[in-house]
A = this chain, B = another copy of it.
């Protein structure tokens, strides 16, 4: 496969002389789009550059004054597909502005409580190469020391979007509530909440109005958080603004300074807003007496994922029954156009009732543990000498969500709650082991994965209990 430009594609597309393609296949070139037909053969001479080039991550570290072995990592990639004004520079300049702010603080003699690491990753576009190499190379140290990874990438005018670990949902909501939107009288939090409520379905709207925090989305893949979150189990966030920035220049030569400064983020107001959100988040994480992990939002979210996979099985069962009925009764055959090729599908095996009880029991336990931790940590103080080890317990809860054996057929992906889909690429699958086994109708594996997820949640709840006992 070789991506080519409009100018090179036009003569090729223009000379296709088969049937006119369906409407959704038509692009915006000034031709009628056709299928191949009896088109003459074209010989293309292609030249590829197979050079092996070094790539360079740029890493800056400011050592923590008090808890130097607890790392807050902040990253954005620095390589681009063609030009890269939006992707990745709009995120990178915001991160550099945060770092510049810290350097000014540092000149006054200030030092953060915890260590802060800034990383500008290379080779992201070729498969998250820079961040993955770094994360794998430092894996042992990261597993011990990394508390949180905050990622940014493209950024533009519009609404705050946040994805990541739901143990950080409450925390990042607090940050968003304190940052002013550049265009309105509102906070960035209020504007995004309004968008979610206005554009939600009636059911979603009710849920959103009942919830005090903005739900953050689950991370699949497509940027440098992947090795940190899904391979090492480091709680992560992915933050960016967008939705009013037009788009259309992604991964093309048109992703230029000119285009970005006219359409992406005129005046760079949302670059500043991004630096504020991520700068506040980084500084709070670096300096908090206790790391702001919280578990009730996580418990509610995982409950929702479990409900989804249960419902998915029920829906598949009904759909399978209906389809089998359509096949068996001949209905499907009866509607076929006899002039068109049509193969009646085979009846599918019955979708069994799966035993979701292990997950439900684990979730009941998790809910209890999360509420207990919330209560205890709200009312009790913890003496200074134990704060450091409590921190470690808190950030290592995310490690408890991973499993060294990884997911079936892809052991590099160790997180049992979030993964990019095996077949979806960037798109996330939550409770991936269970969900994908169901989607593939592998009922034996689904049962095994239910037990694994249940055990994972139990371990996670046990870690929370251990942390609660520190108070």
**Known pairs A26-B26, A318-B202, A322-B205; A191 contacts B32 (CB<8 A):** no
In the complex, chain B residues whose CB is within 8 Å of the CB of A197: 326, 331
Cα of A335 to Cα of B198 in the assembled complex, Å: 8
Stretch at the interface among A88-96, A182-190, A376-384, A447-455: A182-190
CB of A246 to closest CB in B, whole Å = 11
- Scan A325-364; emit 1 where CB is below 8 A from any B CB, else 0: 0100011101101110000000000000000000000000
- Scan A231-272; emit 1 where CB is below 8 A from any B CB, else 0: 000000000000010000000000000000000000000000
- Scan A182-225; emit 1 where CB is below 8 A from any B CB, else 0: 01101000110011011100100100000000000000000000
The chain B residue sitting closest to A339, CB to CB, is B244
Q: Is the CB of A194 within 8 A of B32?
A: no
**Known pairs A28-B20, A30-B30, A322-B205; A194 contacts B339 (CB<8 A):** no
Q: Is the CB of B244 within 8 A of A337?
A: yes
CB of A348 to closest CB in B, whole Å = 16
- Scan A381-415; emit 1 where CB is below 8 A from any B CB, else 0: 00000000000000000000000000000000000
In the complex, chain B residues whose CB is within 8 Å of the CB of A331: 194, 197-198
A58 interfacial by beta-carbon distance below 8 Å = no
Q: Is the CB of A191 within 8 A of B335?
A: yes
Q: Is the CB of A202 within 8 A of B322?
A: yes
The chain B residue sitting closest to A315, CB to CB, is B202
CB of A188 to closest CB in B, whole Å = 11
In the complex, chain B residues whose CB is within 8 Å of the CB of A195: 334-335
Cα of A190 to Cα of B183 in the assembled complex, Å: 61
Q: Is the CB of A184 within 8 A of B334?
A: yes
Q: Is the CB of B28 within 8 A of A334?
A: no
The chain B residue sitting closest to A194, CB to CB, is B334
* 4 nearest A-B residue pairs (beta carbon): A194-B334, A194-B331, A30-B32, A195-B335
A residues sitting closer than 8 Å to B (CB atoms) are: 20, 26, 28-32, 158, 183-184, 186, 190-191, 194-195, 197-199, 202, 205, 244, 318, 322, 326, 330-332, 334-335, 337-339
A-B contact pairs, 26 of them (CB 8 A): A26-B26, A29-B32, A30-B30, A30-B31, A30-B32, A158-B337, A183-B338, A184-B334, A184-B338, A186-B334, A190-B334, A191-B334, A191-B335, A194-B330, A194-B332, A194-B334, A195-B334, A195-B335, A197-B326, A197-B331, A198-B331, A198-B332, A199-B335, A202-B318, A202-B322, A244-B339
